[in-house]
Amino acid sequence: MHRSRVYALLIDAPEAEAARAAEFWSAALGVGTRSDPAEPQFVGLHEALPGLVTAVQSVDDAPRYHLDIESDDVAAETARLVGLGATEVSQWLECRILRAPGGHLLCLLPVESPPEVFDAQARTWP
């Protein structure tokens, strides 16, 4: 058995537009931004969606939205979602990038939330 939960909603913007996209979404949603020098590709939109990390991500691809799902067993969650029809696209560090039926990307990553949040909100899978 393993557990997983939706962790984040990412607004992917092409590199040249990412700063402007972050400014737009910050103003549109009425929230502040936060950046971490260790992860310059992300601009957090603080409390845009309570309970979820929400951020603009600079990408070298087309604009899109994607979900991050955190799991206490990334391999098992990958297998579960592939069994439901997703296809594995690539791997980056400990994260797996999948494409869901319909074409949407999603990322699977090890647990990032505080333990009490993950324990309270994660679903358990066989």
**Positions of the chain with pLDDT lower than 50, given as ranges:** none
pLDDT of residue 48: 96
User: pTM score > 0.85 for this model?
Assistant: yes
pLDDT of residue 74: 98
pLDDT of residue 30: 97
pLDDT of residue 29: 97
- The answer to whether the CB of 93 falls within 8 A of the CB of 52 is no
pLDDT of residue 8: 98
- The answer to whether the CB of 107 falls within 8 A of the CB of 95 is yes
pLDDT digits (tens, 9 = 90+) for 52-75: 999 999 999 999 999 999 999 999
pLDDT of residue 56: 98
Q: Report how far residue 122's alpha carbon sits from residue 126's, in angstroms, rounded to the nearest whole number.
A: 13
